[in-house]
Structure 1
Amino acid sequence: MATSLCGGLGTAASTALAQSEGTMLEEIVVTAQKRSESLADVPIQVNAFTAQAIEDAGITSTEDVISQVPNVTFDRGNSYRSAFITMRGLTQINNADPPIAFIVDGVQQTNQETIGVNLFDLEQVEVLRGPQGTLYGRNAVGGAINVVTRAPGNEFEGYLRGSYAEGDSYSMTAAVAGPIVENKALFRLTANYKSYDGLIENSFNGDEADFIDDDYSVRGRVLLMPTEALTVDLRAEFSDYRGGSNYYSAVFSGDPNDFVDPQSNLTGFTDGETRDYTAKLDYDLGFATFTSITGYTDFEQFNRADLDFRNPVDSPGGFQGLGIQVGQGQDLGFETLNQEFRLVSNGDQRFRWLLGANYLQTDKELLTRGFIDLDGSYGQIDNPALLIANQAETNDNEAWGVFAQFDYDLSDTLTLTAGARYDEDSRDQTNLGSGGTRDQTFDHLQPKVTLTWQPQDERLYYATYSTGFRSGGFNAPNVNVTQFEQETLENFEIGFKSQFLDNRLNLSGAAFLTEVEDYQFFYVEAATASQVIDTIDKVRIQGLELELQAALGGGFDASLALGLTDSDIRESLFPEDEGNHTPRTMPVSATGALQYGTELGDGMDGFARLEWHYYGKKYWAADNDAVQDPYHIVNARAGVRFDNLELFLFGRNLLDEEYYGEFFQPKYSGLDVAIGYLGAPRVVGVEAKLGF
């Protein structure tokens, strides 16, 4: 029978996450360079998760994808959907642009609250490591994640999937698809829902801090093909959620290896909703394909939480020893319009080219308040007499870019790729309290050159020079650091992809050196309830990635991946930090998996999968004083598949390892105590899927 390899099974960049047929690994087609290509021929370290691989690994979120990829980490903290992705040493910061391009069905997401999301009804996910600014624009300094949802087809089909796990965790996904007019108009409708009582208990008030009251999404998609040359893809999605947030524990020891429960008197929550609309048009001109992608997002979110992260019984000294309890709230809303045009030549010519342009407009409103907590209610946030911080602002930006990439086969084995992109990003901020305004324009040219040598189909070697640009911006009004500079980098990389033993064994890897100027990082100034972005003058990041994937035969597949990242602060406003690792650096990470599939007879197949993820030491801040010890996460899935029914048992974090998903020392939190955000504990559950 056929079994599939997914992200934990090695993620070998050349045929990563492939489905194996017998003892051979299947070739995968990706769109990493905005044209369809065999993954084995793409001179980028890419991990591609096929639909079957996603199901085999039980992937349901961005976090699940990232856990399968070396040199990439996903941290949880702050609000319910906040995501802190670190890719090759470049990290996410609050209320600012991510270090990766996160693209869903061709539309780039511009806010961290729309990146750490549920993933469902997927066709493929591609993770590209290394700067991808030439094709993906500003902010793709660390890489890109390309999410492709399932498209409708000509056959009527559907499924219902549900699961139950510890903590009274319920989740359900349902999909139905088919033709409206065969070969002319097709539809797909999908819904996803989850709820969870929680397993991380607040030791003071007895609440489960990590609860999910509800988190649901509904997606509709229509595919129109009026002619053979023209395809119109229309997509709309609505999501609504309410879940626990900001459940930081007060860590009085200051030790990131001292794991304590949350103890706040206020239970944090996030309430939000998103509306997404996408229209994609592809027109085959014969010599090239013209593509237009239009995306619109309307997002609203309300976050309420404790601010001192303690309670009046155990900590009568209260906030900053003033004898008071304090809470916080943040209201965020934004609208984004994204438009991209591109023209891509046919891919079977010696000279191949791609031209494009994009436009982005974002209008964002942000209200941040800190208040004295007298009675444990969130209604106090609207009492002017209790406010200790009150910042209201709008942040609007208008960005555009033009880009081009050319591939030329110098010979049958040697290809030169050259590309460049120019981005301009204009930002305006208005202080709604004082009426004061600020504006600044950031721009950068991002060239890229790659030389690829492919002496035979099973071997590929490449050398790349690439650049990256993350826009600067403004901190909240009244913050001491008023503006942060744009982040730029140069990356030098060599890599290889190789297949052995008739494509039963794949080995790939890369070594990279990245020079960063004005490295952006984040900290909290609790006294003014401010989230502050600042920069480190010069940083050097160097690293190595190795990935092995094997179809062992007899139904067994296995793989192993290793990531090494060494970041070095070369020049800083704080000389004592020079020579240290950058914030959130994890020098060593690894992942591996063993998967088995077999026929059991009578139309029934058996399946089992064991994953291991190793997370090395983590340096939380630039002073490197807070270092979290290594830990291991072990996941497992096992079950049976019939023609239209699947039954599984699964377990996550089976060793019940304790760790923090975010940790701040007082120096960076602005509090008089360190705080940590506990990671998810062990969860065991069951899952079933019925197809038709």
Structure 2
Amino acid sequence: MRLPLRPRSLLPLIALLATGLRADEVQQLPDMVVERPVTRDVQVSLVELAPTAEPAAGLAALALRTAGLSVSDAGARGFGAITTLRGLGNTPYFSDSSVPVYLDDIPLATGFTFPTDLYDFSSVAVHRGPQAATLFGRAGDAGVIHFTSARPAAGTRSRATFSAGNHGLLAASASVQSAPSADTEISAGLSASQRDGYVRNTQLNQDVDDRESVSARLKLTHRPVAGTELSFHVLGQRARDGAQALVPLGGPYHEVQRGQEGVADTDFAAAALGFSRDLDAGTLSTTTSWSNWEMNPYSNRLVVFGGADFDSVVTQSQRTFSEEIRFAGPRGSGGAFWSTSRTRGSADRVFSGFPIEQSRYTTDADTFALFGRANFTPAPGWTLTPGLRAEQTDKDFTRIETIPGSAVIRRDDDWSAFLPSLAATRKIDDATDLTLSLARGFKAGGYSGFTGHADLAAFGAQRAWTAEAAYRTTFKESHLATTARAYASRVTGYQIERSFAVPGSFADEYLVVNAGEARVLGLELESSWNPAADWTVTLVGSISHAELEEFTDPFTGATYSGNRAPYAPSGNGALRVDYRPATGFFAGAGLSWTGTTYYDEQETAFLAQRSYTLVEADAGYAFAAGEVRLFGRNLGDEEYYSSITPGVGHGTPGAPLTWGVELSVSW
């Protein structure tokens, strides 16, 4: 059932509110800004991002130091990547994400659009659990990841950074923040990076997966009168890379032999117009945003099935328009959200010189949601936070196939959800909190663009109930802060992507099916300790068990109930020690661990990445206007796959030992 009316643009509302405010009226209002809770919420992890020109892997770098978060990076700027939080994530190609990403107030729904560079954001907050859906317009059943840019501080600040290292690494970035004033603020950043490939094609005598990108960001903030703020934010990235890094499983990690290599070119752009107004009861804000992600072309050649060439040329794009209105006050918050998007894709595949697939597809999606939460204090030391979200998603799907046969598939479906949540927090003392919560989560269904079977193209929604206990305490005398969490999720309709799944139909490669029921249990620990001045020790860790309780293969009839769910690692962790005075010599070292990850529901050992540990270190000298730094990543030269593609028996190797030097200057 479709919504009879769709929300219209909020631009007329913004203009009406802005022009209707008289300066003398505004001056009488309190100067109050209430934002989404971040650091005070025990279910939120806040990570500060140091400014650097060293190319970051976006979410993949964040996952190495965030409990419960993992990213299977397929090496193609998001295409085929899987972002999982607490055992819930997107499938490689066709489902929405269980943990959407916000870039300031710009929402990104699907995993392939997530940032592979960080656009000089200063911090990121990981909101855990479906209760985050009562705070954000775009939300999933696992949580929300929110990148935020820095607000200008006292005085105009400029920074330039340059890096160089092995594998031909060259990178540079520059940023500027204007001094805050009563009416206008400006911040901007520009970065560029390139490196040689990690994988060598010995047949062609060339590197395969070289990478080159340029990204930029600009944010303008204007306050025409006190208590009213207008903002404009634009950012983008242009990436021109070599072939996706794929090597045959079981062979050398950084060496291939094939007669042709491809490319993976992507472009991303986004813009947002914001308005906020301080009122007696809180802050009213609206955001109108647009984003566009495009991969064209993407091509590769793989040697599969005993020596046959398998060539693929794929294009994919997604254009999204979103509107979000929020009200936040000391007693609660709420809002409305509407988004419309169009995703397009095409696939041309050739097996040993014979075309086996030529198709294109379009998916139109509309999402509307109402959300909110309230805060009550029923007794001293107690806080109750009930929340509610109502959401509906409509999708239209068209697939046109010309090879192996002429066929057209048209489908349209809608999914709705009513999502309550409740959290109870007991403030034990000034340094200790205990929170118990229960919340309902939802992720809409969708369609696979890579199957010619009309009855198999659609898949259903994924729904979950999640219960959580979170305990946070601070030992002021020893400068130690610790947060521990335990959670349990009961999931119905768990979405699993299958490759080469239809017997006797070689061309139909990927589709998504729903497992009847799954269960996810987990523990998380986050701790920060300052044993002495200028010393910091951070420890994060998680253990997660995602199990399919009801799942039967729809094609073979085999039952995989009791097996581990694919894409969800058994846990992760990181330990980091830093000595960092204001000036002078500094140093730091850390290690990160990622647990075993299965990439199919059969728990096939050949298609699994066993647990691995990576070591990193930094050292340098800081002076009044900047610093020089040496850095090293994967110092043990660990060999592992950052992602595995089961259908073609290939994996994306993780980065080998890398090192470099970085110089940064501020003024």
2:372 is matched with 404
Q: Is residue 561 of structure 2 the alignment partner of residue 578 of structure 1?
A: yes
**1:123-142 alignment, distance < 5 Å:** 123-131=122-130, 132-136=132-136, 139-142=139-142
**1:375-454 alignment, distance < 5 Å:** 387-433=355-401, 434=407, 436-454=409-427
Q: Is residue 288 of structure 2 the alignment partner of residue 301 of structure 1?
A: no
In 1, are the aligned partners of 2:64 and 2:573 still within 8 Å (CA)?
Answer: no
Which of these residues, 477, 486, 489, is aligned with residue 514 of structure 1? 489
Q: Is residue 176 of structure 2 the alignment partner of residue 143 of structure 1?
A: no
In 2, are the aligned partners of 1:268 and 1:303 still within 8 Å (CA)?
Answer: no
Call closer, same or farther: CA 1:95–1:37 in 2, change over 3 Å: closer
| SS across alignment from 2:62 | helix
Identity %: 20
Matched AA of 2:643: E
CA distance in 1 between counterparts of 2:442 and 2:153 reads 39
In 2, are the aligned partners of 1:137 and 1:423 still within 8 Å (CA)?
Answer: no
1:327 is matched with 311
Matched AA of 2:335: G
Matched AA of 1:591: A
CA distance in 2 between counterparts of 1:373 and 1:196 reads 32
CA distance in 1 between counterparts of 2:517 and 2:63 reads 27
CA distance in 1 between counterparts of 2:216 and 2:349 reads 35
In 1, are the aligned partners of 2:55 and 2:171 still within 8 Å (CA)?
Answer: no
**1:224-623 alignment, distance < 5 Å:** 224-251=222-249, 259=253, 261-309=255-303, 318-319=307-308, 325-345=309-329, 347=330, 352-372=331-351, 387-433=355-401, 434=407, 436-476=409-449, 478-479=452-453, 481-502=456-477, 504-525=479-500, 527-528=506-507, 530-574=509-553, 575-598=558-581, 604-623=583-602
Call closer, same or farther: CA 1:555–1:107 in 2, change over 3 Å: same
CA distance in 2 between counterparts of 1:295 and 1:676 reads 36
Call closer, same or farther: CA 1:406–1:455 in 2, change over 3 Å: same
In 1, are the aligned partners of 2:55 and 2:117 still within 8 Å (CA)?
Answer: no
TM-score, length basis structure 2: 0.87
Which of these residues, 51, 59, 63, is aligned with residue 62 of structure 1? 59
Q: CA deviation at 1:55?
A: 5.9
Q: Is residue 654 of structure 2 the alignment partner of residue 654 of structure 1?
A: no
Call closer, same or farther: CA 1:276–1:138 in 2, change over 3 Å: closer
Call closer, same or farther: CA 1:165–1:34 in 2, change over 3 Å: farther
Q: Render the CA deviation track for 1:581-626: whole Å, top value 9, x for unaligned.
A: 1002322322111111236xxxx32221111101222222211122
Call closer, same or farther: CA 1:206–1:95 in 2, change over 3 Å: farther
1:163 is matched with 163
Which of these residues, 622, 626, 634, is aligned with residue 641 of structure 1? 622
Q: Render the CA deviation track for 1:370-413: whole Å, top value 9, x for unaligned.
A: 02566xxxxxxxxxxx5320111111011100012111011230
In 1, are the aligned partners of 2:54 and 2:662 still within 8 Å (CA)?
Answer: no
Matched AA of 2:561: E
In 2, are the aligned partners of 1:61 and 1:118 still within 8 Å (CA)?
Answer: yes
1:28 is matched with none
TM-score, length basis structure 1: 0.84
- List runs of 5+ in structure 2 lacking aligned partners: 1-32, 402-406
Matched AA of 2:237: S
CA distance in 2 between counterparts of 1:38 and 1:515 reads 26
Q: CA deviation at 1:170?
A: 1.2
Q: CA deviation at 1:513?
A: 0.7
1:220 is matched with 218
Matched AA of 2:45: N
In 2, are the aligned partners of 1:57 and 1:637 still within 8 Å (CA)?
Answer: no
Call closer, same or farther: CA 1:237–1:164 in 2, change over 3 Å: same
In 1, are the aligned partners of 2:53 and 2:191 still within 8 Å (CA)?
Answer: no
- List runs of 5+ in structure 1 lacking aligned partners: 1-32, 320-324, 375-385
CA distance in 2 between counterparts of 1:402 and 1:444 reads 11
> Which segment drifts farther, 82-91 or 388-397?
82-91
CA distance in 2 between counterparts of 1:167 and 1:637 reads 18
Call closer, same or farther: CA 1:470–1:583 in 2, change over 3 Å: same
Q: Render the CA deviation track for 1:227-267: whole Å, top value 9, x for unaligned.
A: 111011101123211113433212368xxxx7463333332
Call closer, same or farther: CA 1:74–1:51 in 2, change over 3 Å: closer
Q: Is residue 665 of structure 2 the alignment partner of residue 690 of structure 1?
A: yes
| SS across alignment from 2:207 | coil
Matched AA of 2:292: D
